Amino acid sequence: MNEQEFLEYVQSGGQVETTDWMPDDYRAKLIKFIEMHGNSELMGVLPEREWILRAPTLQRKLALTAKVQDEVGHSQLIYRVVEDLGKPRERCLDDLISGKAKFHNVFHYPTRTWGDVGVIAWLVDAAAIISQKALLKCSYAPYARIMKKICWEESFHILHGRDVILTLMNGTGDQRELVQESLNRWWGPLMQFHGNPIAKEEDPMYVWRIKSQGNEEARQQFLDGYVPQIWELGLTVPDPKLRKNDEGIWEYSEPDWDELRHVVTGHGPKTEERLDLRRTARENSAWVRKAVLAEAA
């Protein structure tokens, strides 16, 4: 099989296994894409973990710990897929903390209130599951397979997030305000989440069928699924232009693509602090990994 035949194969729905031949460019794109996913799961832990310690009931604390634990578990699974493609986990982690590798825009922002805990679990995870469901058909079969488990767990996170939000919206005025204020801050990053609306035929990740839908398609799906629910709860979306037109397409103010570029290249409000935390944690525990590896050898 040559590169052109491979391309035709994946574009007609064919899937590839680890030991199958694949073009170097495809392998490189896969590693880049899947590694960023693994990094995002791992960095996504940090905005939420601080709130495990502040969860206001035993049930919430249990649910949030379980959620964050799931994310760590996902990163573990995902890095294993990257490892099989030729990049070991330790190198992924080194590239992450050195700032060389990227992670999703939403994990560069601060979590200021308990309202953020609900908005992240409900809406950020909702946006993420839309991207992840589109990976169930990924041309790289091992990645598509683990995505089943991941999507299944993510759907629980959304339920947990929705329950946090519903409880707050049925609570005191302060609690409702907490949600609205949080939604106001997160809306911009949420609209940027699925990326700029380049035509999918020009998106190399689509061309190789690593992902199966375009950016705008994913964003429309998010808006269609969640804006009505947000409105139904009595919340206001901070975009006066947001409406569904007669053709059923959501119209909205242009997301701030400069902000997205700035943030994902490592200049988000919390990027440095979070990478620092990972770096310190990794340095302080290097001796543990050394002890474990010595035992395994």
Partner 1 sequence: MNEEVQRTLLEIADDELILGWRDSEWTGVAPLLEEDVAFSSIAQNEIGHARALYELVARAQGTTADALAFDRSPDEYRCAPLVELRLMDWAETIARHYLYEEADAKRLEQLKQLDDPEIAGLAAKIDREEAYHRIHAQMWFDRLQDEPRFIEALEKLRPQAETLLDSTKRGEHTPELTDLWEEMTMVRRSQPVGTTW
Binding site for partner 1 (CB under 8 A): 42, 45-46, 49, 51-58, 60-62, 65-66, 68-69, 72-73, 75-76, 79, 89, 114, 167-168, 170-172, 174-175, 277-278, 281, 284-285, 287-289, 291-292, 295
The residue to which tokens 């199966």 are assigned: 212
Nearer to partner 1, 54 or 267 (CB): 54
Tell the smallest beta-carbon distance from residue 107 to partner 1 (Å). 12
> How far does CA 56 lie from the centroid of its chain?
26
Tell the smallest beta-carbon distance from residue 83 to partner 1 (Å). 12
User: What is the rounded distance in angstroms from the CA atom of residue 149 to the CA atom of residue 142?
Assistant: 12
Nearer to partner 1, 134 or 178 (CB): 178
Nearer to partner 1, 76 or 253 (CB): 76
Mapped onto helix, strand or coil, the DSSP state of residue 283 is helix
User: What is the rounded distance in angstroms from the CA atom of residue 104 to the CA atom of residue 195?
Assistant: 10
Mapped onto helix, strand or coil, the DSSP state of residue 140 is strand
Nearer to partner 1, 152 or 257 (CB): 152
The closest alpha carbon to 128, from 196, 71, 69, 89, belongs to 71
Structure tokens that stand for 122 in this block: 């409900």
The residue to which tokens 């947000």 are assigned: 230
- CB contact at 8 A, 84 and 142: yes
Structure tokens that stand for 168 in this block: 């707050």
Nearer to partner 1, 47 or 195 (CB): 47
Nearer to partner 1, 69 or 155 (CB): 69
Structure tokens that stand for 206 in this block: 């689509």
Tell the smallest beta-carbon distance from residue 124 to partner 1 (Å). 16
Tell the smallest beta-carbon distance from residue 123 to partner 1 (Å). 19
The closest alpha carbon to 107, from 133, 130, 127, belongs to 127
Structure tokens that stand for 3 in this block: 């590169």
Tell the smallest beta-carbon distance from residue 71 to partner 1 (Å). 8
- CB contact at 8 A, 16 and 139: yes
Tell the smallest beta-carbon distance from residue 49 to partner 1 (Å). 4
Nearer to partner 1, 49 or 137 (CB): 49
Tell the smallest beta-carbon distance from residue 292 to partner 1 (Å). 7
User: What is the rounded distance in angstroms from the CA atom of residue 175 to the CA atom of residue 157?
Assistant: 21
